[in-house]
Amino acid sequence: ILFSPHSSSQDIHDLICQVAQVRRASKISLKSRNGCHVPIVPSMPQNSVDSPYTVSVTKPADTESEVQALTAVLSKVGEQFNRAFKMENFRTELDKRLNMIEKRLEAESLKLVEIEKCKKDISEVRDQVWQHGRKINQSPSKNLPYKDICLTTPLFISNLENIAHQIHTDHFNVVLQYILTQETVEYLKKPTFDIWHWEPNEMLSLMEHMYHELGLMQEFNINPVTLKRWLLCIQVNYRNNPFHNFRHCFCVCQMMYGMIHLTGLNNQLPKEDLGILITAAICHDLDHPGYNNTYQINARTELAIRYNDISPLENHHCAVAFQILNNPETNIFANVDKDTFQRIRKGMTMLILATDMARHGEILENFKKRIEEGFDFAKKEHTDTLKMVLIKCCDISNEVRPLEVSEPWVDCLLEEYFNQSDREKIEGLPVAPFMDREKVTKPTAQIGFIRFVLIPMFEAVAKIFPPITESLVRQLKSSLQKYEALKEEEEKRRKAVQDQQQQGKAT
């Protein structure tokens, strides 16, 4: 086998398992010709054909038999309960460990029968522990301390974690694969793509397809398994907010992918820049807490303090993105050279920080100046400004989509806004009028945003890429007319109610 000095021990282990034609969860060991143990690490001594290492393999036991063994261990543990010790700490620690294992399994989105069976067995083990605890608690002796377990407990917890690790390593790559039809492949490139009809696993597969179709796998020499791990890790690090969630991440990524094809950027920019655009779009809202920068600063949160009130959320998104990339198992750029990685890091940071709406006016004005100068793809300062405007367009692009796709996003955004304004009222903080549930409506929330933010920005981009006018700017103007009509209807209804109230008072 050949491997890079930057490979992890797990990668080398997997290579040896592959050559030995055994499961990756198998336990293996290496010995030299003189019987000395050889550690499986990147710095392991190089040998030759004349001095091969001997591979010893211990195949993993069947999951069901492992769980049965666990049940037997649990029975023995139950027999050694000592009423003289407190059990509360053990139960708390056990629950914590079990929850961590379950979350790890769920986080990988593995739809495997073995996983579901293991989770069921874990649940049964937990029930047995709790039932045994209740029996001890019901003891007639009131002088005994409340619940504990003997020192054999850590062995039980360790075995349980080993089983979870075994399943994790053995089936990590057996995520359901989706075969995309040609119709879906072409539809994915269009801004009209309906992002509401896709499950999380399907969205992951679509994102994976984007990296393959744009040639990014070859450009950055990305390991396909690492790409899967990275995307799963990205999904886990998006919170379940009404708006800033993993579906929003996919929405922005898909729009960026669509813009690249709509504008022909795949023929104008190098693949490295395309990779930075797509990756920054995916990472741009990582671990968003659901409360914007204004709240962070006014509430003096840890993020605001850490980043000195300067784009606290966007700085946090960057930090989380590179924490994930700092892990060898989830670093899709592990095989690029140092200079390339520095360019990627700098480019992603620039784009994610550009999504702070507080910088909107500054970035758009700089972009318009570049256009007035005569936009030149050969000038880095021009393309950098273009990329910042593109990620901004994609981040707030919902209204360029068809009505049936865009309107549910307004509801999601208003729900998140109202959650924040409710909290601000409770905490005595300033409340933005466009977030106050007592003042804002759909039309009032969207009309000004479309007219003064979206249309000017997309029209500016359309000066470089004319197809945007026909497909995206036209849809924005149509959305604006729709919300203006809704506003007129609301005003008519409000006036009719007021007239009725006045007539009632007069009567």
The DSSP secondary structure of 190-235, one letter per residue, reads: STT--GGG--HHHHHHHHHHHHHHTTHHHHTT--HHHHHHHHHHHH
Which of 132, 244, 288, 382 is catalytic? The answer is 244
**Hey, how many other C-beta atoms are within 10 angstroms of the C-beta on 464?**
17
Cα distance between residue 454 and residue 401, in whole Å = 13
Residue 147 bridge partners (DSSP):
87
- Per the annotation, does 244 bind a ligand? yes
| Residue 244 among the catalytic residues | yes
What are the strands of the beta sheet with 37-38, ordered from one edge? 37-38, 27-31, 54-58
Which tokens sit at 410?
A: 């307004």
- Per the annotation, does 132 bind a ligand? no
CB-based burial, 361-396: b 16+ in 10 Å, e otherwise: eebbebbbebeeeeeeeeeeebbbbbbbbbbbbbbb
- Per the annotation, does 284 bind a ligand? yes
Q: Nearest Cα to 119, choosing from 132, 108, 131, 135?
A: 108
At CB < 8 A and 24+ separation, what contacts does 364-369 make? 364/389, 364/456, 364/457, 364/460, 367/460, 368/460
- Per the annotation, does 285 bind a ligand? yes
Please name the residues in contact with 257: beta carbons below 8 A apart, sequence gap of 6 or more.
188, 189, 210, 214, 278
- Per the annotation, does 248 bind a ligand? yes
- Per the annotation, does 127 bind a ligand? no
- Per the annotation, does 245 bind a ligand? yes
Question: What 8-state DSSP symbol labels residue 287?
Answer: T
Binding residues for Zn(2+): 248, 284-285, 395
Binding residues: 244-248, 284-285, 395, 446
Binding residues for AMP: 244-248, 285, 395, 446
The residues that are catalytic are: 244
